Amino acid sequence: MIISSLGQGLLWAPLAIGVFITFRILDIPDLTTEGSFPFGAAIAVSLMLKGQSAIVASLAGFLAGCVAGLITGILDTKLKIPSLLAGILTMTGLYSINMHIMGKSNVPLLNQKVLTEYLPEGWSLEVQTIVLGLLITVIVVGLLYMMFKTRLGLSLMATGNNKDMSAANGINTDGMIIFGYAISNGFIALSGALVAQSNGYADIGMGIGTIVIGLASVLVGEIFLRGHGILTRLIAMVVGAIIYRLLLTVAMSLGFPADDLKILSAIILIIVICVPIIQNRIRTKRQLKKYLEQMEEQDDESITSAASTEGILSRD
């Protein structure tokens, strides 16, 4: 069970990383996710059915997601549509586009060679999935880590944190926001392409609830792995995606029917939003108590030392 959640979690990790870029770096809850995830799946599966290799198809899925993000970005920055609505518009439009690409609501892969089959045949499917997932995660995290160490990445972080200050320092903030949307949705679509290959089909409904899954993974990751460094934060997203899968697998094994998984996702998200707040409150209280105790001890010491000097003086 843990092994299979590990593999599946790694395939879902690019989704968590994509959501992290918009939600944490740009500070935008981007609903394009629900459209770009199945968009990546639809593009990848239909290209594979047309005879393209799984590698080309997955990369095409990534690029398709970038285009979806680009559109939301332009709606948000250039047309000044509120970001939440911009995401909903792209997501809604993508539903039709995905239907056109797939032709019907569910398209299975036939005998096409999926990415895991590029790995040695002797390995079990679970090992293949984990190795493939690890490989892709290392590439994605590595590329992003390097990007965030460049001036471009710094400008992206600054834009998300303080737009006025960024513009005053010569950063093209609209361009940065569009760029952020694009790569974020690229990774989300890549995740869709990977999950579709793992499932063996693309489905028009596979995007439903992905924003909740993505946000939950981001928050779970941040609960388990804290840190300010960008590398730690990216790895936390991967950890979050895996733990989230594990939670779902546990729920399924407890006998929850598949239809109930969506409400379960929502409940998990509510819990993980609340946990850090409570954690923080408890931590602050404990620190405060410690601090006050120390102050008291100091006071006591100064009183006793005063008393002892007094004693010495009186003896004299």
Partner 1 sequence: MKVLQVQHLQKVFFPGTENERHVLKNINLQVNEGDFISVIGNNGAGKSTLLNTIAGTLNADAGEIDLANHNVSKKSVAYRSRWMSRVFQDPKMGTAGDLTVLQNLVLAQSHTHTINLKWYQKKGDIESYQQLLATLNMGLENFLNTQVKYLSGGQRQALSLLMATLSKPKLLLLDEHTAALDPKTSQEVMKITDQIVLREQLTTMMITHKMSDALKYGNRLVMIQDGQIKLDVKGTEKKNLKQEQLLAAFEA
> Contact with partner 1 (CB under 8 A): which of 96, 106, 169, 279?
169
By CB under 8 A, residue 171 contacts partner 1 = yes
Q: What type of residue is 192?
A: G
Nearer to partner 1, 205 or 229 (CB): 229
What part of residues 99-158 is at the interface with partner 1 (CB under 8 A)? 149-155, 157-158
Contact with partner 1 (CB under 8 A) among 49, 167, 231, 251: 167
Exactly one of 96, 172, 298, 304 binds partner 1 (CB under 8 A); that residue is 172
Looking at the Cβ atoms of 97 and 147, the one nearer to partner 1 is 147
Neighbours of 159 (CB within 10 A): 24
* CA–CA distance, 240 with 218 (Å, rounded to integer): 6
Contacts of 11 (CB under 8 A, 6+ apart): 129, 132, 133, 136, 191, 194, 195, 198
280 near partner 1, judged by CB under 8 A: no
- How far apart, in whole angstroms, are the C-alpha atoms of residue 158 and residue 117? 42
Cα→Cα distances 213→56, 104, 199, 270, Å: 27, 25, 17, 11
Q: Is 80 in the site for partner 1 (CB under 8 A)?
A: no
Among 161, 232, 304, 309, binds partner 1 (CB under 8 A): 161
Interacting residue with partner 1 among 51, 122, 170, 255 (CB under 8 A): 170
- State yes or no: residue 74 binds partner 1 (CB under 8 A): no
Give 56's contacts (C-beta < 8 A, 6+ positions apart). Answer: 47
Find the binding residues for partner 1 in span 247-266 (CB under 8 A).
Answer: none
Determine the distance from the C-alpha atom of residue 150 to the mean position of all C-alpha atoms in its chain, rounded to a whole number: 21
Tokens of 123: 């390995």
- Is position 277 an interface residue for partner 1 (rule: CB under 8 A)? no
Interface residues toward partner 1, by CB under 8 A: 149-155, 157-158, 161-162, 164-173, 228
